[in-house]
């Protein structure tokens, strides 16, 4: 294993991009395709009628602000890593994970709000319009959890002084993934706003 | 995610200058949880062959039912147990077998078995890399596939039977356990298995693309890549873009089945009882499914394109005709394959105008397909052909692809499809163009690269017996199906003797079943040849086919890291066969132009 990756490290790659970074972009593309499927299914299904219109939970707006903030702190951690500012790396990563967790809790509360308004995921009174909202937020939430785990791993390695200007790859990958998850949520939020 | 970024610290790598200084591997690391792409390729190959026999066996079982609808099958009781009732095959089990046959063949054999084997084996060897970008992810991909296989295999032994809604698992049938037994636990396991399968395919695909883009050896520009690598590259891209969509579709189906949502269900009465689901649309599933489903058929056939191109050029001792046109047509096919999915849905009641748009786009695919066929034939034309078994299968592939492609053009016409949809005509079309053709591509690859995989040759005599028996029986099976299909004979019917119109086809169906049994038996010749040759075959030389690509510059049995010394540098494209003025009829890619002055073209003089 170590051998294989050394090989990658030592030979400059034919594209000039680190293979892991390249792989991450490919994974991001596959996640985009998943959501493209969900959102186009949403539109197609909505066009067919029998679609229950309801108010989006108000908390979603707050969550959107939180996740945008978390992208800012993540970027700050990354920039600090480039400048070898070790304490701000840690602070940035801690803030990012706290904000990420806050976002997830917020989304959970959003679901609670939906249930209060009698919008259910399944069951005899449910309508696809509500179920779709649960699916979009749920699947995004799942990916956000994987992102959060990644941030925590990066945080742990920064506590071991393994994240600095000569060892940027991990935090770089983490930043790309985190920004992607934020961007994905922005897309979903705007999509839901427009199609509601 | 995070589990894949192993050892990203540059501080350890000066310790390993030479790649052979690897710590000793125990049996587990070497053969089971290996991260060596060649071992993983063989694992996929063995798994694929296993699945092919399971899938083939199922098809023989249901061909027995179709060929001899009045017979009693008590002799099958030892194998099928409760599925034989009073000597008759249980009708729901018939549907389950058809479903499992399709699923196994399309996904487990012709996707995982074919791409898994040849992408893993050939990509690093042909681009000049020591391994895949991430050996760990690669290993994970196989073991996730293995897990998915175990789940699917176990579902075959459920009391209620495996999934029974067809390989396309259309809801509402697949969503409602009340409708058919197979939509109970069998369908749940089908979905779990497919979800794992998709994860495995994505892990693999990410790796293939990354490797091809990033790890090519010095001199190996994209336009010097063998067509196999190009084909596998497009295959991986198609998979990366389409499998996540199937995942989404499956996820919604899981929610409908287990969480009471109504994405695909609406206004359904079962046994006089109304279900509460409202607002869903089963057509939505078809859109999502075929958005994967159509690219999927090209995921199956593109690797075969690549393997066949390579084998035809090598064994015609001629450069491939239209190298760039081959790449261009694959790009065209890959792009078009995403915009034709609704040709599977012409008769779902969709807007006829939309139907004609999809008809137009569908028929355009015939153009790049024809370009490829033309190029293969032009490569064969006046070639110095060597009829190795691999070559026989490659030529067989071209024949089958033409026969099956022609019927595609007929089906692509939305008006004709009204008559032909869901008949045996469709079955004949896709078995020729996808089923049989991709199998031929796979056989072609196995026979041709066997010496590189196992260091021995397969037996050519047995090989050509295998080829002729398979080739003839494939045509004997599928040609008659066109006729009964045109007559309207519906697919997926357990028994048709009750219909006056279809009774006259009894003899034809018996004939087809006999041919199928002969064809299936021929595969045991292959199996014997394969296993025997692994242990007892004639020892291979380093480059038995006198081929140009890099894999033949490795030792007869390449070790971990592929090349013992430095990786060769590439100077030329892979198709310098029978170049005028050259001393031999092939010039490997790693021979510099300075060594071949007598054969260099004027444009190549500056490269000397
Ligand atoms: C000339 C190019 C082709 C055209 C125009 C074409 C057209 C079609 C059409 C219109 C159908 C739907 C028929 C129906 O259900 O009524 C169909 C079915 C199918 N085609 Fe093709 N096809 C072409 C090539 C291929 C290739 C290259 C493959 C695979 C490698 C393939 C695999 C399939 C499969 C698997 C189905 C049936 C799926 C099912 O219903 O279970 N086709 N084709
Ligand atoms: Cu299609």
Instruction: For residue range A49-108, list pLDDT tens digits in order.
Output: 788 888 899 999 999 999 999 999 999 999 999 999 999 999 999 999 999 999 999 999
Q: Is the pLDDT of residue B3 over 80?
A: no
Atom from ligand 1 closest to the CA of residue B102: 41
Question: pLDDT band for position A3 (50/70/90)?
Answer: very low
Residue B8: its chain A contacts at CB < 8 A? Answer: 5, 20, 167, 169-170
Q: Is the pLDDT of residue B5 over 80?
A: no
Q: What does the angle CA B399 – CA B404 – CA B407 come to, to the nearest 5 degrees?
A: 135
Q: Is the pLDDT of residue B248 over 90?
A: yes
Q: Which residues pair with B456 in a beta bridge?
A: B539
Q: What is the pLDDT of residue B16?
A: 37
Q: Which residues pair with B539 in a beta bridge?
A: B456
Burial class (CB in 10 A: 0-12, 13-18, 19+), B356: middle
Q: B6 vs A123: CB contact, 8 Å cut-off?
A: no
The whole model's pTM is what? 0.92
Q: What is the pLDDT of residue B7?
A: 36
Instruction: For residue range B483-512, list pLDDT tens digits in order.
Output: 999 999 999 998 888 888 888 898 999 999
B514 Cα to the center of ligand 1, angstroms: 26
- Name the most confidently modeled range: A188-192, B82-86, B348-352, B503-507: A188-192
| Residue with the larger pLDDT of the pair A186 and A55 | A186
Percent of chain B with pLDDT over 70: 96
| Contact assessment for residue A34 and residue B247, using Cβ atoms and an 8 Å cutoff | yes
Q: Is the pLDDT of residue B467 over 70?
A: yes
**Cα–Cα distance between B21 and B427 in angstroms, integer?**
53
Tokens representing residue B269 in the block: 């009465």
Q: B10 vs A123: CB contact, 8 Å cut-off?
A: no
Identify which of B429, B432, B434, B491 to mutate to test ligand 1's pocket (most ligand atoms within 8 A of the CB): B429
Q: B2 vs A5: CB contact, 8 Å cut-off?
A: no
Q: What is the pLDDT of residue B31?
A: 77
**Cα–Cα distance between B389 and B400 in angstroms, integer?**
16
Question: pLDDT band for position A12 (50/70/90)?
Answer: low
Q: What is the pLDDT of residue B157?
A: 92
DSSP H helices, A117-168, are 128-159
Q: A4 vs B263: CB contact, 8 Å cut-off?
A: no
Q: Is the pLDDT of residue B12 over 70?
A: no
Instruction: For residue range B283-310, list pLDDT tens digits in order.
Output: 999 999 999 899 999 999 999 999 999 9
Instruction: For residue range B319-354, list pLDDT tens digits in order.
Output: 999 999 999 999 999 999 999 999 999 999 888 899
Q: Is the pLDDT of residue B29 over 50?
A: yes
Which residues are found with C-beta within 5 Å of the ion, ligand 2? Answer: B 294
What mean pLDDT, rounded, does chain B reach? 91
Question: pLDDT band for position A118 (50/70/90)?
Answer: confident
Domains for chain B: give ranges and CATH numbers: 39-553 (1.20.210.10)
Ligand nearest to the CA of B367: 1
Percent of chain A with pLDDT over 90: 71
Q: Is the pLDDT of residue A123 over 90?
A: no
**B75 Cβ contact partners less than 8 Å away, ≥ 6 residues apart:** none
Q: What is the pLDDT of residue B496?
A: 83
What residue ranges line ligand 1, CB within 6 angstroms?
A: B 168, 297, 300-301, 343-344, 362, 365-366, 369, 405, 408-409, 411-412, 417, 420-421, 426, 429-430, 433-434
Q: What does the angle CA B392 – CA B394 – CA B398 come to, to the nearest 5 degrees?
A: 115
Q: What is the pLDDT of residue B24?
A: 60
Q: B244 vs A30: CB contact, 8 Å cut-off?
A: yes
Q: What residue of A is the nearest CA neighbor of B12?
A: A6
Q: Is the pLDDT of residue B172 over 80?
A: yes
Tokens representing residue B552 in the block: 């033949």
Q: What is the pLDDT of residue B11?
A: 35
CB under 8 Å, gap of 24 or more: what pairs does B574-582 form? B574/B224, B574/B225, B574/B226, B574/B310, B574/B548, B574/B549, B575/B313, B575/B319, B575/B320, B575/B323, B575/B548, B576/B319, B576/B548, B577/B313, B577/B314, B577/B316, B577/B317, B577/B318, B577/B319, B577/B548, B578/B317, B578/B318, B578/B319, B578/B384
Q: Is the pLDDT of residue A16 over 80?
A: no
Q: Which fold has domain A18-43+59-195?
A: 1.20.120
Interface test with A, best of B8, B123, B195, B209 (most A CBs within 10 A): B8
Q: What is the pLDDT of residue B21?
A: 42
Question: pLDDT band for position B25 (50/70/90)?
Answer: low
**Cα–Cα distance between B511 and B67 in angstroms, integer?**
7
Please state the ipTM of this predicted complex: 0.90
> Residue ranges per domain, chain A?
18-43+59-195
Residue B267: its chain A contacts at CB < 8 A? Answer: none
Nearest to B105 by CA among B524, B438, B525: B438
Instruction: For residue range A144-184, list pLDDT tens digits in order.
Output: 999 999 999 999 999 998 888 888 999 999 999 999 999 99
Average pLDDT over residues B576-604: 90
Phi/psi region, residue B102 (left: phi>0; alpha: psi -120 to 50; beta: rest), is alpha
Percent of chain A with pLDDT over 70: 93
**Cα–Cα distance between A134 and A111 in angstroms, integer?**
7
Tell the residue number behind the tokens 């590189």, with chain if given.
Answer: B452
User: For the CA atoms of B302, B303, B305, B311, what is the dihedral angle to 10 degrees?
Assistant: 170
Percent of chain B with pLDDT over 90: 78
Q: What is the pLDDT of residue A5?
A: 40
Question: pLDDT band for position B75 (50/70/90)?
Answer: confident
Neighbour tally for B452: CB within 10 Å: 23
Burial class (CB in 10 A: 0-12, 13-18, 19+), B134: buried
Identify which of B426, B438, B489 to mutate to test ligand 1's pocket (most ligand atoms within 8 A of the CB): B426
Nearest to A158 by CA among A96, A71, A68, A69: A96
**Cα–Cα distance between B378 and B319 in angstroms, integer?**
10
Per-residue burial over A85-112, b = 16 or more CB atoms within 10 Å of its CB, e = otherwise: beebbbbbbbbbbebbbbbbebbeebbe
DSSP structural state of residue B586? B
């Amino acid at each position: 294993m170590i051998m294989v990756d050394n090989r990658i490290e030592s030979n400059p790659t034919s594209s000039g991009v680190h293979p892991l970074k390249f792989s991450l972009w490919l994974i991001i593309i596959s996640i985009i395709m998943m959501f493209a499927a969900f959102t186009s299914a949403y539109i197609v299904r909505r066009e067919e009628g029998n679609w229950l219109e309801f108010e989006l939970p108000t908390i979603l707006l707050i969550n959107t602000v939180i996740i945008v903030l978390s992208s800012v702190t993540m970027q700050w951690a990354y920039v600090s890593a480039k400048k070898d500012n070790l304490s701000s790396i840690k602070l940035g990563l801690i803030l990012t994970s706290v904000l990420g967790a806050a976002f997830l809790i917020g989304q959970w509360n959003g679901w609670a709000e939906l249930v209060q308004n009698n919008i259910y995921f399944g069951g005899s009174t449910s309508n696809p319009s509500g179920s779709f909202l649960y699916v979009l937020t749920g699947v995004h939430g799942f990916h956000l959890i994987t992102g959060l785990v990644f941030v925590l791993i990066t945080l742990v390695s920064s506590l071991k002084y393994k994240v600095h200007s000569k060892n940027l790859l991990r935090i770089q990958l983490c930043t790309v993934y985190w920004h992607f998850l934020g961007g994905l949520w922005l897309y979903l939020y705007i999509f839901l706003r427009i199609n509601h | 995610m995070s589990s894949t970024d192993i050892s990203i610290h540059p501080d350890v790598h000066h310790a390993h200058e030479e790649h052979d200084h690897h710590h000793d591997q125990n049996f587990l690391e070497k053969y089971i949880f290996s991260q060596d792409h060649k071992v993983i390729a063989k694992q996929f190959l063995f798994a694929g062959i296993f699945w092919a026999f399971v899938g083939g066996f199922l098809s023989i079982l249901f061909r027995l039912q179709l060929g001899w609808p009045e017979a009693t099958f008590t002799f099958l009781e030892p194998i099928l147990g409760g599925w034989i009732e009073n000597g008759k095959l249980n009708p729901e089990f018939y549907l389950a077998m058809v479903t499992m046959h399709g699923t196994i063949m399309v996904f487990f054999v012709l996707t995982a078995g074919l791409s898994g084997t040849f992408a893993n084996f050939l990509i690093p060897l042909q681009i000049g890399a020591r391994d895949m970008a991430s050996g760990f992810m690669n290993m994970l991909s196989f073991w996730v596939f293995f897990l998915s296989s175990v789940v699917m295999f176990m579902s075959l032994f459920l009391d209620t039977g495996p999934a029974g809604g067809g390989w396309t698992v259309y809801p509402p049938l697949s969503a409602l356990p009340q409708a058919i037994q197979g939509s109970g636990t069998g369908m749940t396991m089908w979905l779990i298995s497919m979800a794992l399968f998709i994860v495995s395919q994505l892990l693999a695909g990410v790796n293939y693309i990354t490797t091809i883009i990033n790890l090519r050896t010095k001199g190996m520009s994209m336009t010097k890549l063998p067509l196999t690598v190009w084909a596998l590259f497009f295959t991986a891209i198609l998979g990366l873009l389409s499998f996540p969509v199937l995942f989404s579709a499956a996820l919604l189906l899981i929610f409908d089945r287990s969480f009471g949502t109504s994405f695909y269900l609406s206004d359904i009465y079962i046994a006089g009882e109304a279900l509460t689901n409202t607002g869903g649309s089963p057509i939505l599933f078809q859109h999502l499914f075929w958005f994967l489903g159509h690219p999927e058929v090209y995921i199956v056939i593109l690797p075969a394109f690549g393997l066949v191109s390579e084998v035809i050029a090598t064994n015609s001792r001629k450069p491939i005709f239209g190298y760039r046109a081959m790449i261009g047509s694959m790009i065209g096919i890959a792009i078009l394959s995403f915009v034709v999915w609704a040709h599977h849905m012409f008769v779902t009641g969709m807007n006829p105008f939309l139907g004609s748009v999809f008809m137009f786009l569908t028929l355009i695919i015939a153009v790049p397909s024809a370009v490829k066929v033309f190029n293969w034939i032009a490569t064969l034309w006046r070639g110095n052909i060597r009829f190795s078994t691999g070559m026989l299968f490659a030529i067989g592939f071209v024949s089958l692809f033409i026969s099956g492609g022609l019927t595609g053009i007929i089906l692509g016409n939305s008006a004709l499809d009204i008559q032909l949809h869901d008949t045996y005509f469709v079955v004949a079309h896709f078995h020729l163009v996808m089923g049989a053709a991709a199998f031929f591509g796979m056989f072609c690859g196995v026979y041709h690269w066997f010496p590189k995989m196992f260091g021995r040759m397969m037996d050519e005599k047995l090989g050509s017996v295998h080829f002729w028996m398979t080739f003839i029986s494939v045509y004997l099976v599928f040609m008659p199906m066109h006729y009964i299909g045109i007559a309207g004979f519906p697919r997926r019917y357990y028994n048709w003797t009750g219909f006056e119109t279809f009774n006259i086809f009894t003899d034809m169906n018996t004939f087809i079943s006999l041919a199928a049994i002969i064809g299936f038996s021929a595969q045991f010749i292959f199996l014997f040849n394969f296993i025997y040759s692994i242990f007892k075959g004639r020892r291979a030389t380093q480059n038995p086919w006198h081929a140009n690509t890099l894999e033949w510059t490795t030792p007869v049995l390449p070790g971990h890291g592929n090349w013992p010394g430095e990786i060769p540098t590439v100077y030329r494209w892979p198709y310098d066969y029978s170049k005028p003025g050259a001393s031999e009829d092939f010039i490997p890619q790693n021979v510099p132009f300075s060594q071949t002055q007598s054969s260099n073209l004027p444009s190549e003089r500056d490269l000397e």
